[in-house]
Structure 1
Amino acid sequence: MKRRLFMAAAASPLASAMPASLGWAAPDTATTGSWRSYELTTTVTLGADAGRTRIWLPLPHDSAYQRLEAVTWTGNAPKLGIYTDVASGTHAFHAAWDDGGVPRTVALTTRVSTLDRRSDLRAASAGAMPDDVAKFLKPNAMITTDGIVKETADKIVEGKREPLAKAQAIYDWIVENTFRDPKVKGCGIGDIRSMLVSGNLGGKCADLNALFVGLARAAGVPARGVYGVRVAPSAFSGAMGTRNADISKAQHCRAEFWIAGIGWIPADPADIRKVVLDDKLALNDPRMPVLRRFLFGAWEGNWVAFNHTRDVRLVPSDTVVNYFMYPEGETAQGQLDGMDPEAAGYRITAQAVS
């Protein structure tokens, strides 16, 4: 058994506030603009017949709106530790077992604090794009930027010159032309070319927000997905949060785009479509304009972010995953299905802490 404690440097808080008079039923834990802390525990238990086993668990990252305060772990794996994908900077907890006749058990606990987040969209200005931002204009395996993706983006932003106006047009197009498909497994895979070629614009967050990211990149606006998990209720809708202690199936990805003078700006058109489906609302419901405005430039701190990268290499191996939001693993029988907590042998819980 091994155990380690890590204390992160405190990040600078962002001034943030939720809009008043939303017309939504606010939960008891309505946001206040102050830091809120949560303890997340992921427990993995696999049978003694698993053989050679490797497990990777995503870790929360540090930012101006989120701070990782502690990491502890226990387990019976001979190898336990934190590894980093150098190319992306993504951190993962890793556990490895050789052949042997004992059940594989490991538990990872993280303490993380979050803030509600809002960008001042009036602060947009002209300015140079840093290299670490420009890389989020590049395509990857699922989020392509040529062919039908480029053609669609050009039609959406036609006549618009300012990057912020382009991002707004793409956000509105996603909201008005896609739909949430509850039949999609997990959060989806985000194969945006296939979505556009087929004309089937249904999916879940990793599909719809990936479409926003790809179209934005094709229009010259840096954008990226942010992969994480819901940990608390939402002040807007039950569809945008969780009241369950068990968050094994509460994964959710959001999106960000970059504008000079402002920096990275939140956008989450996928949650608009989730509210439409789960709350049985029409897009022209009188409450929807408030939510649409909020989710273009803000997000609630009822969610913990892990990373913002695709095609993540899970070191110390050559395994590459589309995105790293679920627990990942390999046994002697093959790859574990991270989108299926029961089959993959894991459980994730969250609780608010003072």
Structure 2
Amino acid sequence: MKVITAIQRSPRLRTSLALAAMAAFFGLSLQAQTVFTVKQTFTVKDLPEGAKKVKGWFWMPEDRPEQKVVDFKVVEAPQSLMITRDPQFGRSWLHAEVDTSGSPLKIVTEFKIVRHAVSGMADASKAGLITEEHRRTFATDLNPNEKHMEITPRIRKIADDLAAGEKNPVTLARRYFQYVIDKSDHYSKFGPMAKGKCLGSADECLAGSGDCCSDQHALFIALCRSQGIPCRMFFGSRLKPENEGKNHDPGYRCWPNFFAPNIGWIPLDISSADAAPAGKAGEWFGGLDANRLEWAEGRDFELEPRAAVRPDLVIRGWVEVDGKQHKGFDRVLHFTKQAAIASTPASDTTTTASR
């Protein structure tokens, strides 16, 4: 298996690595840790007649502030398998390509990963004001024209009205968090399947037709960015207790992080809050549970090697057949979990650095 890494990284990525190193140095305030043993299988299927070349890019785990990979192995894969790294976000991907004359494109990995929950991060009394230096440093996270998260006049007015002159980024983010909950409904409140297109669209969320986590969080990100608050999107999967020991596709769950000086990058999950029992929604503002894996970050991906079609969202993976997107692939995940020894808290709140 080949390994390709990006030696020359963007300033944004170098900054992120430095932030991650700082988080490791000061120590995370960990709650009880959980060890997940995971097997994940990707299989490409339903190839069109006459197809010749299949290429695939698939999610793989790596160390993040809330998770650590303690063992990773490839059980089955084509000889062409590479671990590549996208140059924009610095994330690792499994990549392989095969001719259709041989075996189907199938990648099986097994790994152990330690996860911990985070909570209590969104303390407005500890937040500083965002400066122009912060905005220059995190300019990419303030992009006003990112696809489906554009800062439209309508979104700016909503954000301005909710802000009412407030400048504290945590206070503002909490208002936008609550606004999205009040304005939209995550599909899980009503059934097992989304009714919307799941484009990750702020406009669809406002219109009431966007009922996916990506729609809700796209609106939150656009609202934050309109007020100069850097905000990022992450993609992962929830490891629900009821699915332990089962072969299944857990789908995806996205969540954003926003930046507040003196605190760092603060996670939240509006979709979990929206579906939470009465009185529990606030726990998801500045907190995440341990029963999830983080896979990827961002949108509008510059995959490596470069894909023929540049994808806006990569959910589970991205497959191309003869240079065209191919949606026919299965992903099966199996996991078991066990509790690990809890760490001694380093402080009253958890600190996270993303990327």
- TM-score (structure 2 length as normaliser): 0.77
Q: Does 1:179 align with 2:185?
A: yes
After TM superposition, list the pairs within 5 Å mapping 1:110-121 onto structure 2: 110-118=111-119, 119=121, 121=123
Q: Does 1:138 align with 2:146?
A: no
Which sections of structure 2, spanning at least 5 residues, go unmatched? Answer: 4-19, 341-355
Hey, what's the Cα distance between the residues in 2 that align with 1:14 and 1:63?
12
Hey, what's the Cα distance between the residues in 2 that align with 1:187 and 1:231?
24
Bigger mean CA deviation after superposition, 294-303 or 41-50? 41-50
Could you tell me which of 117, 122, 125 is aligned with 2:128? 125
SS of aligned partner of 2:215: helix
Q: CA deviation at 1:89?
A: 1.2
Report the CA distance shift for 1:46/1:229 in structure 2 as closer, same or farther (over 3 A). same
- TM-score (structure 1 length as normaliser): 0.77
1:138-157: CA deviation from partner (whole Å, max 9, x where unpaired): 13112112322212211222
SS of aligned partner of 2:81: strand
Report the CA distance shift for 1:39/1:274 in structure 2 as closer, same or farther (over 3 A). same
Q: CA deviation at 1:59?
A: 2.0
Report the CA distance shift for 1:120/1:273 in structure 2 as closer, same or farther (over 3 A). closer
Q: 1:56 matched to which residue of 2?
A: 57
Q: CA deviation at 1:316?
A: 0.5
Hey, what's the Cα distance between the residues in 1 that align with 2:329 and 2:323?
12
Report the CA distance shift for 1:132/1:347 in structure 2 as closer, same or farther (over 3 A). farther
Q: 1:284 matched to which residue of 2?
A: none
After TM superposition, list the pairs within 5 Å mapping 1:202-241 onto structure 2: 202-233=210-241
Which sections of structure 1, spanning at least 5 residues, go unmatched? Answer: 18-32, 276-286, 338-342
Q: Does 1:348 align with 2:348?
A: no
SS of aligned partner of 1:320: coil
Structure showing greater relative contact order (alpha-carbon pairs closer than 8 Å, 6 or more residues apart):
2
Could you tell me which of 285, 289, 295 is aligned with 2:284? 295
1:251-305: CA deviation from partner (whole Å, max 9, x where unpaired): 1111211100101111111122234xxxxxxxxxxx522x222101111111011
Count of residues in Structure 1 that have an aligned counterpart in Structure 2:
308
Report the CA distance shift for 1:255/1:246 in structure 2 as closer, same or farther (over 3 A). farther
1:58-89: CA deviation from partner (whole Å, max 9, x where unpaired): 12232221112333224452410111111221
Q: CA deviation at 1:317?
A: 2.1
1:220-244: CA deviation from partner (whole Å, max 9, x where unpaired): 21111210001243xxxx7xxx546
Percent of pairs with identical residues: 20
SS of aligned partner of 1:323: coil
Hey, what's the Cα distance between the residues in 2 that align with 1:314 and 1:185?
29
